[in-house]
Amino acid sequence: QSVLTQPPSASGTPGQRVTISCSGSNSNIESNHVHWYQQLPGTAPKLLILADTQRSSGVPDRFSGSKSGTSASLAISGLRSEDEADYYCAAWDDSLSVEVFGTGTKVTVL
Amino acid sequence: EVQLLESGGGLVQPGGSLRLSCAASGFVFSNYAMSWVRQAPGKGLEWLSLISGGGDQSYYAESVKGRFIISRDNSKNTLSLEMTSLRAEDTALYYCAKRSRPAGAYAVDYWGQGALVTVSS
């Protein structure tokens, strides 16, 4: 079950900034770290952001994460064609004792 | 280099059973929690289960609780998922995932390439 809500799609032209939201609750996002994953077409997911704001090794600084209360966001600045992918947030849920993934956002570079 | 290699996927009839394995290499297996995550065709990621590095703690998604069992053999660097009472909705690509800490749902820093499970008569 997805208890983290993301917009189904986002888009921008090359060079633009795109922001993806991830909405949860006080039992998941507000209480625990949020991680972000990028899934390029036909490949396994890849860790982008861990613990709300930390970029994973090798991830360009065009990617940044933030969190406030029960919501988190992933921002992609200087959008590039290779950023076309599905993006997922994830967090542990203390009430359910499960990990929950967001519904996923498909980013399109126009 | 961290490698996670899933095996055991295939076609199974509804109500049947299947065991997935994940051979891990390139890191001290017992030092990290592991998870299984699946992705149905054209759908998003679904977390299934997590097991601590020592194997003493495990957690399950409601959708598979009572049907799936996660286990690990630290002497063989192998993670397993025993799946029973399989349903059509269990059809998915199953990923083995390495967590970045010994316990808890810390970030997944490495993913396998996935094992395809198809449940159909």
pLDDT at A7 over 80: yes
- Is residue B48 a contact partner of residue B64, using CB atoms and an 8 Å limit? yes
Give me the percent of chain A exceeding a pLDDT of 70: 98
d(CA A51, CA A54): 6
Interface touch B108/A46, C-beta < 8 Å = no
Nearest CA in chain B to A5: B44
Any A CB within 8 A of B63 CB: yes
Cα A66 to Cα A27, B2, B93, B111: the distances in Å are: 18, 28, 30, 24
Mean pLDDT over A80-103 rounds to 96
Mean of the per-residue pLDDT values of chain A: 96
Q: How confident is the model at residue B105 (pLDDT cuts 50, 70, 90)?
A: confident
pLDDT value of residue B20: 98
Q: What is the pLDDT of residues A39-79, one digit of tens each?
A: 999 999 999 999 999 999 999 999 999 999 999 999 999 99
State the pairing for strand pair A71-76/A18-23: antiparallel
- As a whole number of angstroms, the distance between CA A2 and CA A105 comes to 13
Give the sheet arrangement for strand A18-23, strand by strand: A18-23, A71-76, A63-68
How many CB atoms sit inside 10 A of residue B31's CB?
11
Out of A1, A99, A102, name the one closest to residue B105 (CB).
A99
CA distance B65 to chain A (A): 11
pLDDT band at A2 (very low <50, low <70, confident <90, very high): low
SS3 assignment, position B39: strand
CA A5-A11-A103 angle, 5° bins: 20
Residue B29 DSSP SS3: helix
Q: Which pLDDT value is given to residue A76?
A: 98
pLDDT band at B118 (very low <50, low <70, confident <90, very high): very high
pLDDT at A1 over 60: no
Mean pLDDT of B9-13: 98
| For chain B, the helix, strand and coil percentages under 3-state DSSP, each to the nearest 5 | 5, 50, 45
pLDDT at B104 (0 to 100): 77
Please check whether residue B35 is in contact with residue A99, taking contact to mean a CB–CB distance below 8 angstroms. Answer: yes
Chain A: give the shortest CA distance to residue B74, in Å.
23
Q: Which of A39, A42, A46, A109 is nearest to A81 (CA)?
A: A109
Contacts A96 to B, Cβ<8 Å: 62
Lowest mean pLDDT among A74-83, A86-95, B100-109: B100-109
User: Which residues from A are below 8 Å from B2, CB to CB?
Assistant: none
Task: Tell me which chain A residues have a C-beta less than 8 angstroms from the C-beta of B63.
Answer: 1
Gap between the Cα atoms of B35 and B108, Å rounded: 8
Residue A38 · residue A87 · CB < 8 Å: yes
Is B47's Cβ below 8 Å from some Cβ in A? Answer: yes
- Averaged pLDDT for residues B13-35: 97
- The Cα–Cα gap between A20 and A74 comes to 5
Arithmetic mean of pLDDT, B86-95: 98
Residue type, B14: P
Read off the DSSP letter of residue A78.
S
pLDDT at position B101: 86
